[in-house]
Structure 1
Amino acid sequence: MCFLDHIFSRQWRASYPDFKSDTPDANGLGRRLPGGAWNYHAGVIPSFCQSKKVWGVDVDDIYAPVNFKNQHWIAIWISIPKRHIVVWDSIIGHISPEELDEVMEHFVTMVPYLLVECALSNEQKVQYTLEPYTYARETDGVPQCRAGDCDPFALKYIECHALGMEFPKAFNKRNGKSIREKMAVDIFQELPMCHEWENQDNDENLGTYK
């Protein structure tokens, strides 16, 4: 499995208009992917803990937090074998179905495209195909939060699912503050230099936030 940071989703959203406007070649390829897309695919970033595991070969499951209009965080699980993306949303009414379609369009389109573009053989290109993935926002049993707690909830969804756990009863809106505080301490202790390395890895993508 692979865990991606928030820059991945921001960068892919910002680059999608260029990708979409490009005219593909006869094989449907040749479009511009976001800067650093190959690095994610090959597992060479972040540089301080490279996995060097390739999407679709060594990695079947991809997790990422996704920001919506600088207002709200959701989490996604991309299953390469299933060609499907699951969305976990802690305030379901915040993003309408139409808005979520727009948020997910670049993921369901560019992830399969990246796998084909970076495939190591023609057999792999055929195996992956350029067909867009499907996606669904899961609602049953997904803990909901108070406004302002969506970011730690998004990360908690990823943590629980990656560990094969059901969402625990203590994972609820009443415990939002304690979940946030524990997560902040865990991240600080585990990766004290992560922001410095993160900035170095993404020097090529400085235009993402413009």
Structure 2
Amino acid sequence: MAGPGDAVPPHPPRRVRARRGEGGRLYKEILEAAEALLDSSGENAVTIRAVAQRVGVSNPAVYLHFADRPALLRTVSLRVWDRLDEYMANAGPSTADPFADLNNRCVAYIRFGLDHPLRYRLVASGPATEATAHVADACFRNLRHAVRRCAGDGAENAAVTALTRAICACLHGAVSLLLLQPASAWPRDLEGYAQDVAAIATRGALSLCADKKP
């Protein structure tokens, strides 16, 4: 991970002016620069000026794509949730065991939060959270689908939703607990930590699903 000093180059290279039809390339470069600043220095480092300097363009060039800083942060947040969704979707080899599938997705959620702590903090508690609620819902549906497979088709929708919320609270709590502490206080075996929390969530789901079956 880059250090804070890498956030904004003091003398950014002059960027070659994009040709007609290449606006999409600049849009992508702006978002990549914003994510790099977020990863290295946190949300406060993501400003229009800092992003423009990192890309090597003028401030107005950034404003052509984003009306203001909140709009830029909202788009960055959307990409964070999309990446989390990808983590869970690609959690591991497909398995016919619904509880193994749920376990893999839980591990992936925790891995993402700990691999990208500043990105996770932005979408979990930052100002763009409300604006990206519909994308967060997609991640919830991802987990809910896995829980539905565990509970079986006969389970009531309300019960499946409630169980999914409980699992989400467990996963979010496991990530947030570490993010509130300095990295020096984190467990040395983060993979083991993720596996343990996922096992608790999955076995809890197994127990509750068994209790709710007729």
TM-score, normalising length: structure 1: 0.29
Structure with bigger RCO (C-alpha 8 Å, 6+ apart): 1
Structure with greater proportional strand content: 1
